[in-house]
Structure 1
Amino acid sequence: MRWIIALIFLSCVCCVGFAETPQLLIPKIDQKITINDFAGMHPRPDLVGKLAVVEGFVESTPTDGGVPSQKTVVYLAYDDNQMYVVFVCFDNDPHKISSAITRRENFGEDEDWIEVYFDTFDDQRRAYCFSTNAYGVQWDSRYSEANGYSAATAGYGGHQPSFDALWYSDGKITDQGYIIWMAIPFKSIRFPHGTQQLWRTLFGRSIPRTNEYSSWPHVSKQIQGMLTQTSELKGLKNISPGKSMQFIPYSSFRSFRLLDQEATPPRFISNKADTSVGIDAKFVLKDAFVFDTTFNPDFSQVESDVPQVTVNQRFEVFFPEKRPFFLENAQYFETPLDLVFTRRIADPQYGARLTGKSGPYTIAEMFTNDEAPGKQQIGDTPPSGDNAYFGIVRFTRDIATQSYVGALFTNRTFENDT
């Protein structure tokens, strides 16, 4: 009798575990998928049976565990180079779909949008997020669980929108709803080096007119954390970003004439060959580690900061990092307290970074110089004319489900320090 009870108990535990951890098997295909393959809100007949299908979205807001007002179906597949994700979002009142064609990462919460998360290291701590509105306008980020999902408010604060990946999307509003097509190249994301991959994933849809957010799997407000409620994603085999190397050289030339009014008589000072050259380089090592280096970087093309009010502010303002050299795996430098703020490195002339993750370990190293401190000092006051040198090393080790231990080393020295 005891053995029978024990077997029944173990069976129940297994069933509960399976229910709490859904699994999704993604197939590999040998053809490209486009948005036109889903005309009529259904895949082409020759694609039926070749794609993974996700249905059964569940509400998180406004009713936790409720049935969504609109049906959503997601189709997935992959080939040697990229992942395909297609959202088919049905809507009984398609004329009420709220969406606008705008610039990248500029659509609002008051628009209809979808999102997909990929936890490529299966650590339930960090994930890539790819999102679009109904017209396919892109928004992407790196999501960190450490300071992210709040079960009390079903809010997401751990997004780092400064992450900008190269991926493709398209959207189309129809008389039955809207369709979103995504193609995410493997070279745009980082994942473990190996023959078989085990990722985690989650799909979400927002309908603002009913204040509704639904997802698969269900993200419950009663459970702390979002990535712990994701589905396992299996079936990815023999994928790699390839020999991912990126070089971005630049050169600029200018010629000018200035009037020297202190001279008697005044005369023109000219420079007919003011030249500046530089390069940024990126190397992906073993799929999961990234080595970045830069020489005389040109940040003139970086998007300007949004102005902030500084009048009568007790504390200094903080601006998000947007410079490409500092963005790759920036979350690996994070600490519970903000101890690393790379915007303080104002005028680097060269630098190198190594970041990545292997199993439960993450490593982030950076060395760079900065000419700004020496330029700000006048006369012989130290550090006038000196370069500053920054060295940062961050190491963490994941423990249990949501815990970790880590260490941070930072150092700043000046060129003529004795």
Structure 2
Amino acid sequence: MKLKIYFILLLSFSFLKAYSMSEKRKIFAKKISEEIVLDGEITESFWGDAQVSSGFVQYSPRDSIPAELQSEFRVAYDDKFLYIVAQMEDIPEKKFIIGDLKRDFFGGSVDYMSFTFDTFQDETNGYMFGISPFGVQREALLSNGGEGSYNSGGGSRGGSGWFNINWNTKWYSEVKLYDGYWIAEFKIPFNSLRYKEGTKVWNFNSYRGNSKINENSVWTIIPLGFTPANLSMTGEIEFEFPLEKSSQNLVLIPYMSGSGIRNKVSSPEKDFNFDAGLDIKMALSSSLNLDLTFNPDFSQVEVDEQRTNLTRFELFLPEKREFFTDNADLFSNLGSRESRPMFTRRIGIAKDTTTSQYVQNPIIYGAKLSGKLSDDLRIGILNMQTSKLSNSGIPSYNYGMAVLEKNILKNSTVSGFIINKQSFFNDDSKDYAHDLDNFNRVFGFESKLQSNDTRFKSQLYYHHSLENENNPNSNSYGVNASYEKRNFESNIYFYAVGKNFNPEVGFVPRKDYIFLSPSFQYKFLPENSSINTHGPGVDYEFYRNRLNGLTDYDIDIDYNFRFKSSAYLVFKTNLLYTKLLYDFDPSRSDGVALPASSEYNYTNYTFYFRTSERKLFSLRLNGKIGDFFNGDIKNIGGTVNYKFPPFLNIEVGSQYNNLIFPDPYSSANFFSLNSKISVSFSKDLFLSTYLQYNNQLDNINLNARFQWRFQPLSDFFLVYTDNYYAENPLFMNLKSRSFAFKVNYWINI
């Protein structure tokens, strides 16, 4: 096995090809002493002497041609701030499309102007700052070269691990609308960025989204198939003088919260809690951060989406807690989609042995060190301590993780990590449901290699879990590779999970298998057509293990259409085979189960359609019909969204699954409904309501969240949540009701 891994690694290196391109575009930033006034006007005298850069080109719907609506910008700086002023050509007769005024908007559905910075020029990690014509800000951390997710698996390049919109920092801006154009001013503190002292050049790019003519444009050419945040296809920003060390940045975020709950399904029936805590963000250097949290509270976090599960395995739900999402690529973007050694949602959640239910395990404190030790060496250290729950037999646990990531070649990385979960600070004289001497550890290494132009990408990893007993087959390993050009994309994913691989803080929905998935997608690019690209694709996924041989396969044959309007349509035919390794009731109704070792060949047909999200009205539709194990499946679903810019956004969606099986097996009808209404009274005052119905989960969830941003990044939240049984009469059989408030205040010192 070791020889195979070394051979694969050597082969990956051999595929890395040199990338030659024309000389990079540059923008010169002059150092200034004049104070700038953020007013959406270009009146300061130094802007008259600043270099003006324009010449934006389309990224979509057609790449590499001049943008129809042009943009230009200028850059300056002083000892504390980086300044950018941008002017965007506009069509005043048409309205801007935006659903609400909340910070960190989704770029695919609004107008915006943004800038990306690769401050270490490693073409791997960077920052993005953007703003809408209504002055709404967003900022994000970029990783993996600003390109997709390495661990999406199964022939898909998608994923959001590379674009972390949950990162927050305080910066300043102003926007002003004119007849035929709009102006945006950016004032970004240097101490909110990590960079090398004494540098004069950063990699830099700009991209703009325009809903009025459905155009996306970029400052430097980025071909279709790559993201506009790609860090290997940037220009450069050159500073007049070497940058000095940024001032130390210390942020305190104290909070107070309270909650009351009425519970009819578990004890205690009524409870009220009052909490206070503190988050600390400290810049130890211009490239290294320390985050501390004491008694954190996550009551303001948006509730999870309730989804119907027709699989045999656990569903993956994303992490939404800000402490864990900052620099998440270091800690969570490891392994494959079905074998993640670190899944931070496991921290603060434990299984109550008396009820077999998962309960919240309060976090006492947490610490996270992340950043660069040198130009090519990045570090991440995470430590969390949870409290014990005596009534549930759950001891106090410590969760720790350390990661080292080294840049190699131009924009590739190798990394190693170790994860530890172990009980600490417990009273040995008391009884617990778990042995206090037990531990769970995972160590591993990864390499992520890519060509200079990011067309070729590969990943190689090996992970191993350790426990008190030394069990065989406690490992997971894999190798993935992809190659993409303008008109085709090919991928191959291979990974294996051992029978006893057990990362307790990870996400591993199934074990004891090897997985292989080659895929190929071809794209036709017609001229003078409403269709931007179209073409066939095939994706072959199969699972096998040593004892049973082939256990699953899924041959996916599809045809994709991408329209210049940003609409998308795909038709799929899936040829499937499943050999059950244990009894399973696909209706999930506690009826007669299909027996273990039984085998099923079945075929179904799927479609998915999405209109442009940069319209007042947008629509998503999906459907499936065909065989399902030894029965039949019919699925129809969709989501309707309507915007009343910029104050109201209404979204309603539903899914219906009809499963029919022959006697004596149970048939089932699963129906889910969700409705989300977001109201923006201003850029600082918001109300959102979320209603979810799911008869498979037998639950109706009603959540309302009020947010007042009384200072930048300082908020007051009121959150109301009801859960009911999903049976008639509706909203009459209460499970639980809770009410919570939280106040947090961002203090820069």
The alignment's TM-score, normalised by the length of structure 1, stands at 0.79
- The 8 Å contact of residues 40 and 176 in structure 2, kept in 1 or not, is answered as no
User: Aligned partners of 2:258, 2:225: CA distance in 1, in Å?
Assistant: 60
User: Aligned partners of 1:330, 1:292: CA distance in 2, in Å?
Assistant: 13
CA deviation profile, 1:160-203 (whole Å, cap 9, x unmatched): 111122112222221112111211112222222x1334311101
1:288: Cα distance to partner? 0.8
- Shift of the 309–286 alpha-carbon distance from structure 1 to 2, 3 Å rule, reads same
Which residue number in structure 2 is paired with residue 63 of structure 1?
62
Which residue number in structure 2 is paired with residue 364 of structure 1?
380
Aligned with 2:220 (options 205, 208, 217): 217
Which residue number in structure 1 is paired with residue 249 of structure 2?
244
1:241: Cα distance to partner? 3.5
- The 8 Å contact of residues 247 and 280 in structure 1, kept in 2 or not, is answered as yes
Which SS does the other structure have where 1:60 is aligned? strand
After TM superposition, the structure 1 = structure 2 runs for residues 37-52 of structure 1, keeping only pairs within 5 Å, are 38=41, 43-44=42-43, 46-52=45-51
1:129: Cα distance to partner? 1.0
Which residue number in structure 1 is paired with residue 187 of structure 2?
183
Aligned with 2:164 (options 160, 177, 184): 160
- The 8 Å contact of residues 29 and 50 in structure 1, kept in 2 or not, is answered as no
Aligned with 2:366 (options 351, 354, 359): 351
1:309: Cα distance to partner? 1.6
1:46: Cα distance to partner? 2.2
Q: Which one-letter code corresponds to 2:395 in the other structure? A: D
Which residue number in structure 1 is paired with residue 328 of structure 2?
330
Which residue number in structure 1 is paired with residue 82 of structure 2?
83
1:375: Cα distance to partner? 3.5
User: Aligned partners of 1:362, 1:59: CA distance in 2, in Å?
Assistant: 34
Which residue number in structure 2 is paired with residue 296 of structure 1?
295
User: Aligned partners of 1:159, 1:171: CA distance in 2, in Å?
Assistant: 25
- The 8 Å contact of residues 145 and 232 in structure 2, kept in 1 or not, is answered as no
CA deviation profile, 1:373-408 (whole Å, cap 9, x unmatched): x54984xxxxx2311111101111111123211111
After TM superposition, the structure 1 = structure 2 runs for residues 401-412 of structure 1, keeping only pairs within 5 Å, are 401-412=410-421
Q: Which one-letter code corresponds to 1:96 in the other structure? A: K
Which SS does the other structure have where 1:54 is aligned? coil
Moved more, 246-255 or 321-330: 246-255
Which residue number in structure 2 is paired with residue 135 of structure 1?
134
User: Aligned partners of 1:149, 1:75: CA distance in 2, in Å?
Assistant: 30
CA deviation profile, 1:12-68 (whole Å, cap 9, x unmatched): xxxx97833222221111123345463xxxx33723443232111111222221111
CA deviation profile, 1:138-177 (whole Å, cap 9, x unmatched): 1221122357259xx9999531111122112222221112
1:363: Cα distance to partner? 0.7
- Shift of the 370–130 alpha-carbon distance from structure 1 to 2, 3 Å rule, reads same
Which residue number in structure 1 is paired with residue 402 of structure 2?
393
Which residue number in structure 1 is paired with residue 430 of structure 2?
none
CA deviation profile, 1:258-297 (whole Å, cap 9, x unmatched): xxxxxxxxxxx999xx864432222211211112222222
- Shift of the 277–206 alpha-carbon distance from structure 1 to 2, 3 Å rule, reads closer
Q: Which one-letter code corresponds to 1:395 in the other structure? A: L
- Shift of the 377–317 alpha-carbon distance from structure 1 to 2, 3 Å rule, reads farther
User: Aligned partners of 1:108, 1:403: CA distance in 2, in Å?
Assistant: 27
Q: How many residues align?
A: 373
Which SS does the other structure have where 2:22 is aligned? helix
- Shift of the 201–284 alpha-carbon distance from structure 1 to 2, 3 Å rule, reads same
Q: Which one-letter code corresponds to 1:106 in the other structure? A: F
1:119: Cα distance to partner? 0.8
- Shift of the 149–50 alpha-carbon distance from structure 1 to 2, 3 Å rule, reads farther
- Shift of the 247–108 alpha-carbon distance from structure 1 to 2, 3 Å rule, reads closer
Structure with more of its chain in helix, by fraction: 1
Which residue number in structure 2 is paired with residue 3 of structure 1?
none
- Shift of the 154–111 alpha-carbon distance from structure 1 to 2, 3 Å rule, reads farther
After TM superposition, the structure 1 = structure 2 runs for residues 100-179 of structure 1, keeping only pairs within 5 Å, are 100=98, 102-106=101-105, 109-146=108-145, 148=147, 157=160, 158-179=162-183
Which SS does the other structure have where 1:408 is aligned? strand
1:231: Cα distance to partner? 1.1
Aligned with 1:305 (options 299, 303, 308): 303
Q: Which one-letter code corresponds to 1:393 in the other structure? A: A
RMSD after superposition: 3.3
Which residue number in structure 1 is paired with residue 437 of structure 2?
417
Structure with more of its chain in strand, by fraction: 2
Give identity over the alignment, percent: 29
Q: Which one-letter code corresponds to 2:307 in the other structure? A: V
User: Aligned partners of 2:168, 2:382: CA distance in 1, in Å?
Assistant: 20
CA deviation profile, 1:333-386 (whole Å, cap 9, x unmatched): 232433322121123211222111121111101111223xx54984xxxxx231
Aligned with 1:226 (options 230, 241, 244): 230
- The 8 Å contact of residues 89 and 177 in structure 1, kept in 2 or not, is answered as yes
Which SS does the other structure have where 2:31 is aligned? coil
- The 8 Å contact of residues 248 and 279 in structure 1, kept in 2 or not, is answered as yes
Q: Which one-letter code corresponds to 1:189 in the other structure? A: L
Moved more, 334-343 or 73-82: 334-343
- The 8 Å contact of residues 279 and 295 in structure 1, kept in 2 or not, is answered as yes
Which residue number in structure 2 is paired with residue 13 of structure 1?
none
- Shift of the 80–348 alpha-carbon distance from structure 1 to 2, 3 Å rule, reads same
Q: Which one-letter code corresponds to 1:20 in the other structure? A: E
Q: Which one-letter code corresponds to 1:387 in the other structure? A: S
